[in-house]
Structure formats: C-alpha cells, structure tokens
C-alpha cells in the first residue's frame, strides 16, 4: 500500500453555519473513539477536512471501521506530496504504478485549494498527465469515461494524490442532535429505527419491556445483543433499560378486551418510557413504527397510542416498506439476531382480531377500570434495571431451531 494517510470529507454538517465548529470537533472525537484500537494513528484537522496519518497501521482495517462513523460523506486513501510541481508529478506516477491492475485509460483531475500555487488547474492537468503518459506509454487519456481518475488536491500544507473515494455513513456526528430513548423490542424494525436515529446525530438509550417468567432469559439476551450492535455505531457504551412489565400486562389482559390489548399495552409502555425519559434527560422517544405494517401501526392506532405522551415521537421507518427495512437490517448487522425465535412481551396475549381503529374514549374508559394502573406503571419505572453495554463485550450464545421469529415487531 503506497498511501500514507486517509482524507476524510464532511457530510451535511458543512451547512451548520456558526455551529459548524462544534459539529466538526464532535466528529473528530467520534473518529478517534472508533479508531482507538489503532494506536499509531495521528490526526490533522484543517478547515473542511480531517487527515488520518496511518503510520504503518493497516489501511483496510481502518477503512472498514471508518465506514460506520456518522457525519462522514466520503473518504479516500491518499499519498501526500510537497506542494511543488516535481514532487506532485513523481507522486502521481507512483500512485498510478501502485494500482493492482494497469488501466488502459485515465484522466487527471486537479483541484487547487491553494490559489497561490503557481500553475492553475488546467495547466496542472496537462503537466501531471503528460508526465504519467511518458512513463507509462500504454495508457490513454479518456476525459469522458476513464477507468481511473487520478485526483490531485493541492492545499497550502501539501498536495494529496489518490484514485479512490469511498462513501461514508453520512448524517451527523453522534450526540450532536440531542438525546432520545429508543423502544427496542427485539424484532427487525426497532434496531433499524435506532440506527437511523443514531445516523441523524441523536444520543440514544434503549428501553426494553420484559414479562418474566412468560418471556425467557434468551429473549433478554437477544435484545442485549441488538443493543450491543447499536453500540458499535456509537463508539462508546450504550445504556439499556430493562423494564419489568408482567404486572401491567396481566392487569391489562384481565380486562378481557382482547381487541384493545395491543393498544393498551403500547399506551402503558409509552407512559413508562415518558417517565424514564424525564429521569434520564431525554427529549424524544424513537419507535420502529412503519405505517400499516401491523394493527398498532395504522393511523388510527398511532393516534390513540401517541396521546399518552407529550414528548416528540420519532418514527424513522414510518414510510418504509418491510423489504427496505430488512435490507438496512442486513447491512447494519442486526437482521440475523432479530429473527431469532425467542418470544418477547409483545408476542404474549396477542388477540386474533386486534382493533385497527380504536376509539380513544373507549380505551380510556377501559383503562379507568384498573384502579391501580398508575401505581403499577410507577412500580415498573422504579423496578427498571439499567445495564451499560459495549460493542466489544462477549456475545451470548443462542440456541434456536427456526428463523421465523421477529415478525411481530410492535415498535
């Protein structure tokens, strides 16, 4: 590998005006956190970009980790040259000779960020291109559709030469958009919603409801594994709040209003989550709702369920099809865990015909028949167990027989 550093380009944060500096500093901190395993790396920050000096660290492994850092639009492996003509020409030739296969066509694209450089971009295209052509006669110039585009970026502090640009994760750096709680069910949808929320710069803590002994220890471990995977994208530990829901759930089931069971469960979950959000300083709640996917995600159901909460409810998947959600789940590494067939509390007491258009007045009336409901909700809040999870923690070992679970994703 001839390249000695990585050029990192920023994403949407370049439009942040007076707040841009804060976003850039947070991005640099996130990059350092994500790459802390590579101790020899050094970092240089200039206006609008970051350079990562490899110092012998393996580019491929560093690049693989860099792809998951939010806030990057793209990055490139680059070779630095002195901002002088001969140094740029020689380095450009070295880069072309280092390619794994010799292309038949190429073109040179020079960007002159340092305007005082004594040749303009067009002159440099010709001066660099002719030098490469003389050394590699088999090459031809194709300015419309070249096999390789040799890029030269001339800045005051140096010239950077490269042929490749890799797409970054985009979005905003972690934690620059405030803090939210994610309802994490264990199905396919909610981890994807969490990943999309992280991508928009939200700091997340996850909330999971369990109904022990009706739900198993493996169901809990499955959610822990999903939260740990999300922690991979934060570069730091992620908190998971495990809420005991058995008492509330059985009390709701005791009302014998089966068609309203899902609606009432979700209203109770949001009321508990709202209390947890206040305790932990969160300003929003993220769910994996996708319009029309299940009974609780019709417009009528979401209206009645959402009336329990004053905080903003963020639904990143609301207009996505199931296959689009699955595609993201596979890409971010949560799908294989989400389809493990361990029941969670949302798959208990599921009615055959849930209401898709519940009446708010009727639901509130049924809830009023449970005199201790508020006290039960408070006990659930008080009984919540919080664990802090790192991406590098040891994965639990699952034993399973089918891949049919994860379909009832209520969040």
In tens, the pLDDT along 246-300 reads 999 999 989 988 899 999 999 999 999 999 999 999 999 999 999 988 877 899 9
CB 91 within 8 A of CB 105: no
φ, ψ (nearest 5 deg) of residue 45: -115, 125
Stretch 153-163: mean pLDDT:
94
Structural domains of the chain sorted by starting position, each given as residue range(s) with its CATH number in brackets: 5-167 (3.30.2130.30), 179-389 (3.40.50.620)
Which of 19-23, 208-212, 225-229 is predicted with the least confidence, judged by mean pLDDT? 19-23
Stretch 46-69: mean pLDDT:
93
Q: For residue 406, what pLDDT is reported?
A: 40
Check whether 242 is labelled as a binding-site residue: no
Share of residues in the chain with pLDDT > 90 (%) = 76
Distance CA 363, CA 135 (A): 79
Q: For residue 346, what pLDDT is reported?
A: 66
Give per-residue pLDDT as tens, 294-339. Answer: 877 899 999 999 999 999 999 999 999 999 999 999 999 999 999 9
Q: For residue 408, what pLDDT is reported?
A: 44
Distance CA 107, CA 105 (A): 7
Q: For residue 394, what pLDDT is reported?
A: 65
Check whether 10 is labelled as a binding-site residue: no
Listed in order, strand segments (DSSP E) in 172-328 are 179-183, 203-210, 238-244, 285-286, 313-314
φ, ψ (nearest 5 deg) of residue 176: -90, -5
Predicted confidence (pLDDT) at residue 16 exceeds the cutoff of 80: no
Which of 79-93, 109-123, 318-332, 394-408 is predicted with the least confidence, judged by mean pLDDT? 394-408
Confidence of residue 399 (pLDDT cuts 50, 70, 90): very low
Check whether 184 is labelled as a binding-site residue: yes
Give per-residue pLDDT as tens, 343-396. Answer: 766 666 667 788 888 999 999 999 999 989 999 999 999 999 999 999 887 655
Check whether 208 is labelled as a binding-site residue: yes
Concatenate the DSSP letters of all residues of 148-178 into one string.
Answer: EEEEEEEETTEEEEES--EE---S--TTSS-
User: Is the overall model pTM greater than 0.85, yes or no?
Assistant: yes
Pairing, β 166-167 against β 72-81: antiparallel
Give per-residue pLDDT as tens, 90-99. Answer: 999 999 999 9
Q: For residue 239, what pLDDT is reported?
A: 96
Check whether 66 is labelled as a binding-site residue: no
């Amino acid at each position: 590998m001839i390249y000695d550093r990585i050029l990192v380009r920023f994403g949407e944060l370049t439009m942040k005006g007076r707040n841009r500096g804060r976003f850039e500093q947070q991005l640099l901190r996130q990059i350092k956190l994500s790459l802390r395993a590579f101790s020899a790396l050094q970092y240089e920050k200039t206006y609008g970009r970051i350079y990562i000096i490899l110092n012998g660290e393996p580019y491929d492994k560093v690049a693989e980790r860099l792809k998951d850092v939010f806030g990057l639009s793209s990055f490139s492996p680059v070779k630095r040259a002195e901002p002088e003509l001969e140094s740029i020409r020689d380095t450009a030739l070295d880069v072309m000779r280092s390619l794994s296969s010799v292309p038949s066509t190429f073109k040179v694209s020079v960007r002159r960020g340092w305007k005082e450089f004594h040749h303009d971009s067009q002159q440099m295209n010709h001066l660099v291109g002719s030098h490469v052509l003389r050394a590699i006669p088999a090459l031809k110039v194709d300015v419309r559709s070249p096999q390789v585009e040799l890029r030269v970026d001339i800045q005051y502090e140096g010239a950077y030469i490269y042929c490749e640009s890799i797409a970054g994760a985009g979005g905003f750096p972690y934690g620059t958009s405030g803090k939210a709680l994610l309802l994490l069910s264990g199905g396919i949808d909610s981890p994807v919603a969490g990943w999309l929320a992280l991508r928009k710069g939200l700091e997340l803590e996850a909330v999971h409801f369990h109904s022990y002994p009706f739900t198993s220890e493996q169901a809990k471990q499955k959610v822990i594994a999903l939260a740990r995977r999300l922690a991979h994208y934060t570069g730091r530990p992620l908190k998971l709040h495990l809420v005991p829901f058995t008492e509330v759930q059985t009390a709701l089931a005791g009302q014998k209003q089966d068609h309203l069971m899902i609606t009432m469960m979700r209203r109770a979950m949001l009321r508990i989550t709202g209390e947890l959000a206040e305790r932990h300083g969160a300003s929003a709640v993220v769910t994996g709702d996708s319009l029309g996917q299940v009974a609780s995600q019709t417009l009528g159901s979401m209206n009645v369920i959402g009336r329990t909460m004053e905080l903003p409810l963020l639904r990143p998947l609301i207009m996505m099809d199931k296959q689009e959600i699955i595609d993201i789940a596979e890409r971010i590494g949560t799908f294989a865990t989400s389809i493990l067939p361990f029941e969670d509390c949302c798959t208990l007491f599921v009615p055959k015909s849930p209401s898709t258009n519940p009446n708010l007045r009727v639901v509130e009336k049924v809830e009023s028949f449970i005199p201790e409901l508020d006290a039960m909700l408070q006990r659930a809040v008080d009984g919540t167990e919080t664990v802090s999870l790192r991406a590098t923690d040891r994965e639990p070992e699952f034993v399973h027989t089918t891949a049919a679970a994860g379909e009832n994703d209520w969040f």
